[in-house]
Amino acid sequence: MKFDILIAGVGGQGVVLASRLLATAAIDAGFHVTTAETIGMAQREGSVTSHIRIGDEICGSLIPSGNADLIIGLEPAEAARNIHFLAKDGSIVVNEHAVIPSVLNGCVEYIPDQVLEFLKDKCHDTISLDFTQLAKQAGTHRAANVAMLAAAAGADLLPFSSGELWNVLEKMVPEKYRDVNRNAFEMSLKRVSGIEEIKQQTQAPDV
């Protein structure tokens, strides 16, 4: 068994924490895991990526181009920047909330809707929501990364269950932040459940 996940975002969005949560959940589920991260620009809202490779058939810590089973894009442009890693039959979970890079300084127009359309065109199995807004409704925008992990688990895009993932979150998240993360987790599961039901209805053949 081999399952590769790439998480892409910018500094401050919790890419590294999300990576550690997934890796720990995979280990607890009995899988071999390797990870690799680029965090040098994290403090400047620069690109941050994490490679999580799950399974026994792993050669190296970095996912080869065209091999990622899942891309979790905490920021639309960062998901698009890393689309070359996605396998032909891979899936994407992307946050619709855009973070305008400070380096653009108004010189280049960033249109998030066009980026999202590009991602959906490249990958038909794409879950696209404003996870930042969902997390705000749960109590804090900082829980957007947790909401996205819950979405991936709720859509059966991970090699372990949402319950197994929450067990890890409950241990790793400090107690004072646990309730708000639980709210974000459950709200995301509910939203994704509704999306999956609609998807199944639209794909069902007419009788």
CATH number of residue 72's parent domain: 3.40.920.10
Mean pLDDT estimate for the chain:
89
Residue-level pLDDT at 1? 85
Across 29-56, average pLDDT: 83
In-domain check, residue 206: no
Identify whether 143 is part of a domain: yes
Answer yes or no: are the C-beta atoms of 144 and 183 closer than 8 Å. no
pLDDT(103) > 70:
no
Six-digit token string for 165: 């993932």
The boundaries of the domain holding residue 12 are: 2-201
Examine the pLDDT at 51 and tell me if it is beyond 90.
yes
Find, among 40, 49, 64, 39, the residue nearest to 6 by Cα.
Answer: 49
More confident residue, 47 or 180: 180
> Could you tell me the pLDDT band of residue 207, with boundaries at 50, 70 and 90?
very low
> The pTM is what?
0.90
Looking at residue 185, its pLDDT comes to 97
Is 34 within a domain? yes
Assess contact for 22 and 52: CB atoms under 8 A: yes
Average pLDDT value for residue range 172-178:
93
Task: Say if 207 falls within a structural domain.
Answer: no
Total domains in the fold of the chain: 1
Residue 113 pLDDT > 80: yes
What integer is the mean pLDDT of 81-104?
89
Instruction: Answer yes or no: is 92 within a domain.
Output: yes
Note whether residue 35 is domain-resident. Answer: yes
